Amino acid sequence: MSIEVSNESGVEVDEVALSTLGRFVLDRMHVDPLAELSVLLVDPDAMAALHQQWMDIPGPTDVMAFPMDADDLPPHRDDLSAPPGSAHRPPEALLGDVVLCPAVAADQAASAGHSVEAELHLLCTHGILHLLGYDHGDDEQERAMFDLQSRLLDEWVRDSGRGPIRTPVPGTGGEVRDTPGGRR
């Protein structure tokens, strides 16, 4: 599994930990071991430019995910509505890019009551899940994605000794976080 982490943010970040987290999440999601993932950390100006260009929303955001273009998929891999890793949608070798903004993550970490590293791990996991086809466009999707995200991060904290990570509670649009030690 190839995971490239590039830090262009000007903020010191544990790139090895992000790469290890990426490998952990992809392993737990049973993604092809030949998969490639790129994680890019950028400053607020660069993130604001991406946010404006791709979402038509001004200002920086915390995480953006850029999956491999579905038009590039072979014909047998074109059912993007199928669960990732299923017979109708095998895992792709080139997943795409997760872009993180540590400055935005720092603000969110303070509000969430955990470290900036914990917030970056949450955001990286969130971005990877988007690359794998998960979304939170409606209540059902949000619950499924946020529950999976929480399970993955709970396992990560347990196995890596990092954390705690206060994950978003489903049904809150990400605005309410778990209490330390688990769900309320």
> What class, spelled out in words, does domain 2-68+90-160 have in CATH?
alpha beta
> Which residues in 98-128 are b (16+ Cβ under 10 Å) and which e?
bbbbbbbbeebbeebebbbbbbbbbbbbbbb
What are the pLDDT digits (tens) for 37-64?
999 999 999 999 999 999 999 999 999 9
The 3-state DSSP class for residue 155 equals helix
Enter the pTM of the model.
0.84
What are the pLDDT digits (tens) for 98-146?
999 999 999 999 999 999 999 999 999 999 999 999 999 888 999 999 9
The 3-state DSSP class for residue 21 equals helix
The 3-state DSSP class for residue 165 equals coil
